[in-house]
Structure 1
Amino acid sequence: MPSEQATNQSVERAVVVLRALAEGQSERRVSDVAASAGLGPSTTSRLLATLEQLDLVERDPVSNLYRLSLGTAPLAAVALNRHPVHRASRMVLQELATSTGLGANIAVRRGDRLMFLCNFEGARAPKTYTQAGHTAPLHATAIGKCLLSALTGEERRALLGDELVAHTEYTVTGHAGLDAAVTQVRRSGYAVEVEERALGRASLAAPVLDADGSVAGALSLWGPVSALLGTPIGDAAAQPPEGLVRQVIETADAVSQAMGAH
């Protein structure tokens, strides 16, 4: 019988291989998976063969390239559908996207990143590759700033480190600026981000609370700067219309109430 340590190591390596397949191109060579996973080619090949037998990966019969199998879909779907924030938000989030014509997301914090649970696109929202399971930086998004409002300044610095990555010239890269943004979230109940993560785009977000009053997630409305703010690009002082802000906050409140918050 293999030792407990050996068994754990095998599980860890298998998970690393699955995550390597989830990154980058949809189909990958064994050598590419091995390089991403930091494993030897022979070890990676054996792990892929085992995962293929378990219907978690599949190999193209022509190219011999590997990809994640649809056998992973039921596992991901069950995890997502059983998450309380996803259950409470899906219907009202879709209504928000439809009524505003913009994109609507909901996310939770996973370590030093946020993870999207679902995304809906309104008629005025540009097509996006944001999907359930995708991650994004906390400091460069309105939804991330709402999630960070659950932490103290010391906790944020310990979580994110001293260097905050700049995604555009408008990204908040200092903790003093991030502290100010989080304070504004706590004061007003919402956050606004303009071109911090992607040029030409803006987002408006509000936190979602659980029955204990803790920040359990956050939802956001996003789209072109002109559509969300009603102003051309370059107006740093622009803010979303009051009615749109109220709609986002009320939607977040509806999700919070569904989760037992008062």
Structure 2
Amino acid sequence: MRIAAESEGPFTLTSITERTGLSPATVHRLLDLLGREGLVERDAVRRSYRVGGELFRLSALVFNRVPFRDIAGPLLREAADAFDETCYFAMYLPSEGRLMFAEKADSSRELSYRFELNRPLSLVWGSSGRAILAYLPERRAREILEAEREGNHEGRRPPSWAVLKRELASIRERGYAHSRGQRVAHAIGVIAPVFNHNNEIYGSLGFTIPEQRFAALDLEQVAQVAVRQADRLSRALGAARGAAVPST
């Protein structure tokens, strides 16, 4: 069923056999069972299969009946508990070219950061925004930068496109964004991208950690947790494995 759901078009018995390592007879039997339930449909002329209407119906039922908080909440909580540091999910707002923090799992520590939820914020400042910018089409990312009129909390002006473009390429290469004090003074951000069922950027997930505590942590370990949880959330939203590559 996973192969059927992730296929971009019709698929064949041979292609499934090659991907799974199962025998043709076993694959044929499984496809026959799925076909009887309406989960896949067979095209006798082309000798191929496609996703069936019943799979679409079941997917829609699950997606519409399970609140996003119920999907993201446990993943954020698990990440936050790994280091006892605040973990946020920031949602991309395409029409505004901004983000908003939509869900969070707080640290139990007295000193931690509390961002206001559901408030539109700049994509240009902070790793939560740049993890999103890195996976937008280049033209759109540049438009967002050029429209940016806000300095950060230190009064710094936005970077040039040449500087930002290099950083966004580095984010894609690493798979996460890392910033220091861009959105909030003395805060370290380690944030990974989250994708939707179309493999388009949907938001970002990761940590905001006070600088003095971050010194005792290993960046790669923190990033590994952020990337893992972001990938799990992406998969729950229907994204295929692996980060999407933005078009130019």
TM range (shorter): 0.5 to 0.7
Residue of 193, 209, 232 corresponding to 2:179: 193
C-alpha displacement at 1:139, in angstroms?
0.9
Tell me, yes or no, if structure 1 residue 248 matches structure 2 residue 226: yes
Structure 2 Cα separation of the partners of residues 156 and 191 of structure 1: 15
C-alpha displacement at 1:97, in angstroms?
1.2
Aligned residues of 2:148 and 2:158 also touching (Cα < 8 A): no
C-alpha displacement at 1:152, in angstroms?
2.8
Report the counterpart of residue 107 of structure 2 in structure 1.
122
Aligned residues of 2:112 and 2:210 also touching (Cα < 8 A): no
Residue of 185, 188, 193 corresponding to 1:207: 193
| AA aligned opposite 2:236 | A
Written as runs of structure 1 = structure 2, the 5 A alignment for 1:156-195 is 156-161=141-146, 163=148, 165-167=150-152, 168=154, 172-195=158-181
Written as runs of structure 1 = structure 2, the 5 A alignment for 1:63-212 is 86-110=69-93, 111-124=96-109, 126-161=111-146, 163=148, 165-167=150-152, 168=154, 172-212=158-198
Unaligned runs of 5+ in 1: 1-80, 232-239
Aligned residues of 1:101 and 1:124 also touching (Cα < 8 A): yes
Q: Sequence identity, in percent?
A: 22
Structure 1 Cα separation of the partners of residues 79 and 107 of structure 2: 9
Structure 2 Cα separation of the partners of residues 112 and 84 of structure 1: 24
Tell me, yes or no, if structure 1 residue 260 matches structure 2 residue 246: no
Aligned residues: 174
C-alpha displacement at 1:252, in angstroms?
0.6
Structure 1 Cα separation of the partners of residues 157 and 206 of structure 2: 18
C-alpha displacement at 1:84, in angstroms?
6.7
In 2 relative to 1, CA 129–249 (structure 1 residues): closer, same or farther, beyond 3 Å? closer
Unaligned runs of 5+ in 2: 1-63, 241-248
In 2 relative to 1, CA 146–199 (structure 1 residues): closer, same or farther, beyond 3 Å? same
| AA aligned opposite 1:248 | A
Structure 1 vs Structure 2 CA RMSD: 2.6
